[in-house]
């Protein structure tokens, strides 16, 4: 279940005896690498205490929609945006009905209505309630809206009945959660990504660089791994842990980054790195001293890594990023044309460097598609889906 590494999961509990299984489910999700926050309805708290889930998750358990402290910053909306996946387990018949009707009468249903990521429900109820026509109609409505229904299982129930309605076991639900983030959109393809800043040495201790954190590039690398690709991540200096199941090649300068890119042929090349446009004409062999009132630096232009890869033979499908401080769409479309790219993502540099959230507009030769503001992990998966769709059209 490595695909749950660094994923953000809201584990929601509605009222039902199966709520006791949520403790083990929470433990398994965290063991698989997910960050879990728990939301409980009033009914769920009658079966298992918030303190139990708080101890397991290591996070405050959310129970109230009208929490004055949290809502000062619109806490329920921020929590909904935070999640890559909302998993409601157990999801009672009553909760299914409220959600199908679009009610936001408690914190959990409100989060489901305001979500950006995926929503999955693990039904748990008496077998007669499961087969009731109203329940089945609600399930159909939810499925048509893109909600995933995991289960139920069949077997003995707490009331003594036997049949469909048992919540899936925690192990099965944790596996379903992992499968959410493992798809085959790029199965078998070689993907090379660049990420982070570059550093251009002035002397042994100083350099020219920028504020790029590398978060977007690393998120895209992880999303490409989940999509089944063989990924090479060529990264400038960052403070980020390397994603699993890929080859990480650390570099410092633009010249080193270009050399690494050329040594790793790919079917898909995604240039996310904020590469320095210029480097010092000469790097001093020793630390420069402040023995003058002013200093003039001579700079020379760095090679354009993305344009070089777009002109290479065989040519990969080339995707660029345009992080601008003004007129981002105009500049991005200019780069798309000038460098001969297949796709480019335009965003605001001042709003993305160092942030955990961003938004972007995807541009190609005869079209564009906006991507709403979201966490970079979620946005990366949307970008990979779009890239895969554009590659399929070119094939």
Where in the chain does DSSP place strands (E)?
A: 8-13, 35-40, 85-91, 118-123, 148-149, 153-156, 162-166, 190-195, 200-201, 207-208, 230-235, 247-250, 268-271, 278-280, 299-301, 317-324, 343-348, 357-364, 367-375
Please classify residue 248 by burial: count the beta carbons closer than 10 Å to its beta carbon, then call 0-12 exposed, 13-18 middle and 19+ buried: middle
Helix (H, G, I), strand (E, B) or coil at 194: strand
What whole-number distance in Å separates Cα of residue 72 and Cα of residue 49?
26
Enumerate residues 6+ apart whose C-beta is below 8 A from 357: 81, 373, 374, 375, 376, 379
Cβ–Cβ < 8 Å for 339, 292: no
Per the CB < 8 A criterion, the answer to whether 212 and 236 are in contact is yes
Q: How far apart are CA 164 and CA 157, in angstroms?
A: 9
Angle, alpha carbons 318-302-258 (nearest 5°): 45
d(CA 356, CA 378): 10
The DSSP symbol for 106 reads S
Separation of alpha carbons 180 and 356, rounded Å: 21
Cβ(220)–Cβ(381) below 8 Å: no
C-alpha 3/C-alpha 32 separation (Å) is 8
* Catalytic choice (26, 159, 261, 318): 159
Q: What are phi and psi of 171, to 5 degrees?
A: -60, -40
User: CA 33 → CA 78, 114, 132, 280, distances in Å?
Assistant: 22, 25, 38, 42
- Within 13 Å, how many C-alpha atoms sit on residue 205's CB side? 4
Read off the DSSP letter of residue 43.
T
Look up 318 and say whether it is catalytic.
no
Spatial distance between the Cα atoms of 177 and 120, rounded to a whole number of angstroms: 9
Residues with catalytic function:
159
């Amino acid at each position: 279940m490595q695909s749950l590494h660094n994923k953000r999961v809201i584990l929601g509990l509605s009222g039902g005896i199966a709520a006791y299984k949520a403790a083990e489910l929470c433990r398994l999700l965290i063991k698989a690498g997910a960050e879990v926050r728990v939301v409980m309805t009033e009914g769920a708290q009658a079966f298992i205490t918030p303190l139990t889930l708080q101890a397991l998750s290591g996070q405050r358990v959310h129970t109230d929609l009208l929490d004055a402290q949290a809502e000062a910053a619109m806490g329920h909306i921020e929590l909904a945006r935070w999640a890559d996946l909302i998993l409601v387990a157990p999801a009672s018949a009553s909760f299914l009905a409220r959600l199908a009707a679009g009610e936001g009468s408690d914190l959990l249903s409100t989060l489901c209505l305001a979500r950006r990521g995926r929503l999955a429900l693990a039904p748990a109820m008496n077998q007669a309630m499961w087969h009731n026509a109203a329940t089945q109609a609600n399930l159909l409505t939810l499925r048509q809206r893109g909600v995933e229904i995991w289960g139920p299982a069949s077997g003995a129930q707490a009331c003594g009945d036997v049949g469909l309605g048992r919540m899936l076991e925690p192990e099965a639900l944790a596996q379903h959660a992992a499968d959410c983030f493992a798809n085959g959109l790029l199965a078998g393809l070689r993907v090379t990504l660049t990420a982070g800043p570059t550093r251009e040495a002035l002397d042994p201790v100083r350099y020219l660089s920028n504020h790029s954190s590398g978060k977007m590039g690393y998120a895209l690398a992880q999303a490409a791994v989940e999509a089944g690709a063989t990924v090479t991540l060529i990264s400038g200096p960052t403070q980020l842990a390397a994603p699993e199941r890929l080859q990480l090649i650390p570099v410092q300068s633009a010249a080193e980054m270009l050399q690494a890119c050329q040594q790793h042929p790919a079917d898909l090349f995604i240039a996310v790195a904020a590469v320095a446009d210029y480097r010092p004409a000469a790097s001093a062999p020793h630390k420069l001293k402040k023995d003058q009132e002013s200093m003039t630096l001579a700079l020379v232009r760095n090679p354009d890594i993305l344009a070089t890869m777009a002109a290479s033979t065989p040519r990969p499908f080339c995707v660029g990023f345009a992080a601008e401080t003004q007129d981002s769409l105009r500049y991005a479309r200019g780069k798309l044309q000038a460098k001969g790219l297949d796709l480019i993502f335009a965003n605001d540099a001042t709003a993305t460097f160092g942030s955990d959230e961003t938004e972007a507009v995807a541009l190609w030769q005869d079209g564009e598609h906006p991507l709403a503001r979201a966490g970079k992990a979620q946005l990366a998966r949307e970008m990979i889906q779009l890239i895969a769709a554009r590659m399929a059209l070119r094939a």
